[in-house]
Amino acid sequence: MRRSGLRSRGTQLMAFRFASVVLVIWYERPQFFYSLSSCRFPDAVLRAEGGADSAQAPTHVVLIADPHVPHPSLSHPTSSPDWVNAVRQGMEELFMRKSWNVVRRLGRIDAVIVVGDILDCGREFMTDKHYDEYYQIFRSIFKLHPTTDIYFVPGNHDIGLGPPGTFSPLARRRFQQHFGDLNAVVSVANHSLILLDSVGLIEEDRRRYAAEVQYGEWSGIAGGVIEFVQGLGRDPPANSILISHVPLARPDTVSCGPLREYGTIQKGVGLGYQNLLGGETSEFLLEALRPTIVFSGDDHDYCDITHKYGIREVTLKSFSSSAGIQKPGLQLLSLIPPQEGALSHADVPCFLPDQLGVYNWIYLPFILITFAYLLLTNMRSALVRPSHHHHHPGDRSPKPRNSPRPDEKRRERPVLTTTRSSQNLQGLTATARGRQHLSARTSAPNSPHLSPRIPYDDNESELGDGYISPALSRRSSYGGDLNEAGATTPPLLRMSSGLPSPIVQSTTARRVALPRLPSASDWVASARAKDTSVISLGAAHGHSYFAKVAGSLRWLWRTRNSVVVKSIRELLSVILPAAIVWVIVNAIW
C-alpha cells in the first residue's frame, strides 16, 4: 500500500537529504567560525592591568606551531594507493587553508611567528626545484597581507636532527634561503623576540656532553647557537621573549594545566627528535637570557608551566589536523611598549575544530544510521507485501486478472443424479424457469459442479411431477446419495431417452477427525525409532530457533537484489546532494 504525506518514501528520503546537506554546510564552514567565535586578541587584559589606554592600539602577533605541511609523496606511506595519498594530501591542506582563512578574520594581524616544523619533509633528500615547489605549497596555504611580517623558527622536521647522512645536508641552507636566519632577534612593540635554533642547540649539547665539558668551559662552535646565546647574555635585551621549537626541561610529573588533552611532556630521544632540551641547557638559557615568557612547540599538545625565576613557558598546540590531537590550535599575543609596573604582554590560546572527529563521529554514523533505516524499512515492506498478495517476494510473474480470491472456495457444478426419466428432467427445467424463487445461489461446497439451490420451504406438490428433492443436489458425482446411508442400487447405469440415469449406490457417512497433537511420549518414541535425540528431532521439524534464523538469512539472501540493492540506491540518492554541497562549500575557501 502506497503511503502519502509525511510517511511516504519520497518524503523520508527528502528528509535524509535535507539533514545531510545541513550537516555538511555546518561542519564545513560555520563550524570553523564558531570554534573561534570566542577567540579574541587579549587587548582587554592589558587595559585591565593598566598597561594600555584606549588610544593605544596593541600589536597583534599570531603564533602557530607544527603545521607540518605535507609533501605530496614523501609524507605518505608508499604502500598506499596513489589516489588515497592524494585524498589525504588534499584533506590536510584543506583543513589548514580553511583554518587560516578564519584566523585572518579575527582582526588586525601585525606579525606571524611559525614555531618550527613548518614543512613535514623539509629535511628529506630532494632537488632544489622540488624543495621550491614544496615551499610554494606552504605559501599557498598561509597567505598574508603584504604589510604583515612573518618570522620562522627551525624545527627538527625542517633541518633534521641526527648523525651525518641521515638527512639532507642541504636542509639548513635551504631553510635560510626560503625562511630566514636560523637564529635571530627581532623587535616588535619594544619587545625583543629571540628566535632560537633549538635543534642546533641540541646537536652542540651532544658534542659538549661527549667531550665532557661544562657550559662555563665550552666556547661552542663558531657561528653556532651557544655562541649566539652567550653573545646575548653579555648584553641581555630588555623585555625579551624566547621562542624555541623544543620545550625546556621540566620534571616528568609536572602538570601542563587543564587545557592539555592527555598526559604530560616526557623525556624522550630518538632518531630525528628529542622531546625536551637538557637540564643544563635549559638552565643555561634561562640564566643567560632571563626572558619574560617562553613559547615552544614540537609536542603538538598544549602545556602551560612556570620555570625557575617565575618564567612562564607555553607549549603551543599543533596547527595540523594530523598531529595526533583532537583539536588543533594557535596562540594570540598582544604586545604594548613596556611601562614601569605595568603588564606589557598577554596571550590566549585558541582551538580549531576536530576535523577528523567530524568525519568519524558525525558523517560516518549518519551514513550508517541512514543505511540501517533504509534497509530495515525495505525489509519490512518486502515481508508485509506477500501477506496481502499471497505470492513470493521474488516472484514477479503477473497475477491472472480473473483469478478467484484466496478466501473463496472453488464452486463447481454438480451432476444431477436421478432415477426419473428425461421427461421429468425436462419438466423440472421448464418449471424452474417459471419460478422466481429458484435463486441463483450455488449449492453446497460438497457438490463438484455449479447448480442452483432450491429453497427447503418449497412445496413438492406445487412443483409438480418434475420436482426433485433438495437431497438430489447433495448426491455425490459418483452416484451416491449422501443423505441416504442405507440405499442400495444396481451397480450399472441405465440409458433413458438418450440421457444417463445413474443408479444411486449405497454409501456410508464420512467422518472427519481432527489430528491429535503429539505428546511428549510420542516425541520420545519417535526419537528412539530414528535413533536420535528429542532436540535433534525437534530441530529437524523446524522447531529450533537456529532454524528460524537460518531461514531468515536465506530469505534475505534470496531478496538481496531487491532489498539490499534498493537500500544502497536510496543511500546514494541521499549522499550525492551532500557530496555536491561539500565540493561547493570547500571550493569557496
Q: Are residues 330 and 465 in the same domain?
A: no
CB neighbours (10 Å) of residue 301? 22
Please give the average per-residue pLDDT across 237-247, as a whole number.
94
Q: Are residues 152 and 214 in the same domain?
A: yes
- Spatial distance between the Cα atoms of 500 and 538, rounded to a whole number of angstroms: 55
User: pLDDT at residue 387 above 50?
Assistant: no
**Among the three residues 456, 477, 498, which one is the final residue of a domain in this structure?**
477
Question: Dihedrals φ, ψ of 463, to 5°?
Answer: -85, -20
- Spatial distance between the Cα atoms of 498 and 42, rounded to a whole number of angstroms: 120
Return the pLDDT at 508. Answer: 56
Q: Are residues 42 and 58 in the same domain?
A: yes
* Within a domain: 518: no
Q: Are residues 371 and 342 in the same domain?
A: no
Write the pLDDT tens digit of every residue in 54-98.
Answer: 567 899 999 999 999 999 999 999 999 999 999 999 999 999 999
Please give the average per-residue pLDDT across 344-355, as a whole number.
94
435 touches 381 (CB < 8 A): no
- CA within 13 Å, CB half, 236: 14
More confident residue, 223 or 403: 223
**Among the three residues 477, 494, 522, which one is the final residue of a domain in this structure?**
477
User: pLDDT at residue 309 above 80?
Assistant: yes
Q: What pTM does this model have?
A: 0.71
Please give the average per-residue pLDDT across 402-426, as a whole number.
48
Please give the average per-residue pLDDT across 471-491, as a whole number.
45
Distances (CA, A) of 298 to 16, 68, 243, 269, 502: 43, 10, 12, 13, 110
Return the pLDDT at 379. Answer: 86
* Within a domain: 489: no
> Which band of pLDDT confidence, cut at 50, 70 and 90, is reported for residue 486?
very low
Q: Are residues 344 and 445 in the same domain?
A: no
* Least confident among 41-45, 180-184, 289-293, 484-488: 484-488
Percent above pLDDT 90 for the chain? 54
Q: Are residues 376 and 366 in the same domain?
A: yes
* Within a domain: 276: yes
Please give the average per-residue pLDDT across 273-300, as a whole number.
94
Please give the average per-residue pLDDT across 27-40, as a whole number.
93
- Spatial distance between the Cα atoms of 115 and 320, rounded to a whole number of angstroms: 13
Q: Are residues 175 and 315 in the same domain?
A: yes
Return the pLDDT at 157. Answer: 96
Q: Are residues 31 and 64 in the same domain?
A: no
Percent above pLDDT 70 for the chain? 70
Return the pLDDT at 513. Answer: 54
* Within a domain: 534: no
Q: Are residues 573 and 446 in the same domain?
A: no
> Which band of pLDDT confidence, cut at 50, 70 and 90, is reported for residue 389?
very low
More confident residue, 473 or 166: 166
User: pLDDT at residue 491 above 80?
Assistant: no
Mean pLDDT rounded to a whole number for the chain: 80
Return the pLDDT at 210. Answer: 84
- Spatial distance between the Cα atoms of 121 and 73, rounded to a whole number of angstroms: 10
> Which band of pLDDT confidence, cut at 50, 70 and 90, is reported for residue 562?
confident
User: pLDDT at residue 176 above 70?
Assistant: yes
Quote the number of domains for the chain.
Answer: 3
Distances (CA, A) of 18 to 14, 23, 83, 375: 6, 9, 30, 19
Beta-strand relationship, 448-449 and 329-335: unpaired
Among residues 89, 48, 53, 145, the alpha carbon closest in space to that of 346 is found at: 48
* Within a domain: 155: yes
> Which band of pLDDT confidence, cut at 50, 70 and 90, is reported for residue 216?
confident
> Which band of pLDDT confidence, cut at 50, 70 and 90, is reported for residue 458?
very low
**CATH of residue 250:** 3.60.21.10
Residue 452: give the domain boundaries: 416-477
More confident residue, 399 or 572: 572
Please give the average per-residue pLDDT across 448-458, as a whole number.
46
More confident residue, 508 or 38: 38
* Least confident among 253-262, 345-354, 515-524, 547-556: 515-524
User: pLDDT at residue 268 above 70?
Assistant: yes
* Least confident among 51-55, 233-237, 414-418: 414-418
Return the pLDDT at 474. Answer: 43
DSSP 405-447: PTTSPP-EEPP---SS-HHHHHHHHHHHHH-TTS---B--TTS
Distances (CA, A) of 536 to 111, 276, 527, 549: 81, 69, 8, 16
Please give the average per-residue pLDDT across 24-29, as a whole number.
95
Q: Are residues 117 and 22 in the same domain?
A: no
- Spatial distance between the Cα atoms of 530 and 443, rounded to a whole number of angstroms: 48
User: pLDDT at residue 461 above 60?
Assistant: no
Q: Are residues 333 and 228 in the same domain?
A: yes
* Within a domain: 310: yes
User: pLDDT at residue 168 above 60?
Assistant: yes
Spatial CB neighbours of 288, under 8 Å, sequence gap ≥ 6: 229, 230, 232, 233, 236
* Within a domain: 162: yes
CB neighbours (10 Å) of residue 441? 10
Q: Are residues 325 and 360 in the same domain?
A: no
* Least confident among 101-105, 278-282, 466-470: 466-470
More confident residue, 257 or 340: 257
* Within a domain: 462: yes
